[in-house]
Structure 1
């Protein structure tokens, strides 16, 4: 049966990493005591992990209580869109040698704040989709 619907195509892991490498902002989802929370963040993909910078506060406290996270990025153009979801674990980077290396990455705060704490997200699962944008088909 032929259809005029285009539900999107599944991206493989390499294609999903391409989207993660192109984008620089997304949403970090955490959960503490069964209560979900989502934060907009900027990040950089580096050597198979995602890195962000933060300050002490709710987000960092939640990450230390439950290191299981989800992260999503979306990229949208006039005719296409991509969405990638990463699930994995987060850890605060504490080694000075690691911090010195990460300080050289192009990862700067969006707003005029000092964010000295690096958080690394190690993916356990990456899945993405590509969509061709268009009008909704006729219903009947």
Structure 2
């Protein structure tokens, strides 16, 4: 939480800043459509020439993503500074061929957290990139009906 007046409550980020934030991170959430409902998967990604590349194994994530529109959301918070950001990339996911060049470049930089075979590389080619930075608000300033319940519990 912060009281720094120089940090706006909410600011939309320019595309270049969104890419800089994505380059500084490596974990996001991939949203795909599976049959008749959305699914969200945590993934490790890398930025490659203003596209996102990630690895996955065979299964739901792969079949739901390849050749389809997907969304990736990444965020982070600096709790000491009281500032957070969130970036969303929307675009089509395409399968990449496992070439020696791919494995020697971005492939060496992708380290999935989960064990198991991650033989498939996918690239998200963005159609839309958006982001925002905002101050982390103190819970008692949220202005929701839950504030009264929280205060009652503290009194």
TM-score range, shorter chain: 0.7 to 0.9
Change in Cα spacing, 1:97 to 1:32, as seen in structure 2 (3 Å) is: same
Report the TM-score when normalising by structure 2.
Answer: 0.77
Q: Secondary structure at the match of 2:18?
A: helix
Contact 2:46 2:109 in 1 (8 A): yes
1:45 — aligned with what? 47
Which string of whole-angstrom CA distances, capped at 9 and with x for unpartnered residues, describes residues 47-71 of structure 1? 111010001011111123x510011
1:76 — aligned with what? 77
Q: Secondary structure at the match of 2:116?
A: coil
Q: Distance in 2 between matches of 1:9 and 1:110?
A: 32
Deviation, 1:132, is: 1.4
1:21 — aligned with what? 23
Report the TM-score when normalising by structure 1.
Answer: 0.84
* CA RMSD between the two structures: 2.2
2:120 — aligned with what? 117
**Structure with greater helix share of residues:** 2
Using the TM superposition, name which of 88-97 and 22-31 deviates more. Answer: 88-97
Output aligned runs, 1:1-140, within 5 Å: 7-64=9-66, 67-78=68-79, 79-94=82-97, 96-102=99-105, 104-135=107-138, 136-137=140-141
Pair member with larger Rg: 2
Which string of whole-angstrom CA distances, capped at 9 and with x for unpartnered residues, describes residues 72-105 of structure 1? 0011111110000110000110252553344554
Which string of whole-angstrom CA distances, capped at 9 and with x for unpartnered residues, describes residues 98-118 of structure 1? 533445541112122221110
Query: 5+ unaligned residues in a row in structure 2: which ranges?
Result: 144-155
Deviation, 1:33, is: 3.9
Deviation, 1:34, is: 3.9
